[in-house]
Amino acid sequence: FPSHDKRTVFINQKTINMLNDFLERDLEDIIFDNLDKIETRGFPKLYKNTERQFLLPDGRKMDIISWEVVDNVFYGKIIELKKDTLTEAAFWQGCGYYFEVMCAMAGNFKNSFIELVLIGKSFQNSLISASILSEYIKIYTYKYGWDGISFECASHGRSFIRDNFYNGKSINGFDYE
Residue with the bigger pLDDT between 64 and 128: it is: 64
pLDDT at 158: 53
Asked if residues 138 and 131 have their Cβ atoms less than 8 Å apart, the reply is yes
The pTM score is: 0.76
Q: pLDDT by residue (tens digit) across 142-171?
A: 988 777 889 998 876 555 445 555 555 544
Residue with the bigger pLDDT between 110 and 15: it is: 110
| Residues linked to residue 170 through DSSP beta bridges, in sequence order | 175
DSSP 131-147: HTT-TTEEEEEEEEETT
pLDDT at 172: 47
Q: pLDDT by residue (tens digit) across 109-134?
A: 999 999 999 999 998 888 877 777 67
Residue with the bigger pLDDT between 97 and 135: it is: 97
Q: pLDDT by residue (tens digit) across 77-86?
A: 999 999 889 9
Q: What are the φ and ψ backbone dihedral angles of 132, each rounded to 5 degrees?
A: -80, -10
* Integer Cα distance of 65 and 78 in angstroms: 5
What is the overall mean pLDDT for the chain? 78
Asked if residues 118 and 139 have their Cβ atoms less than 8 Å apart, the reply is yes
Q: pLDDT by residue (tens digit) across 35-53?
A: 888 899 999 999 999 999 9
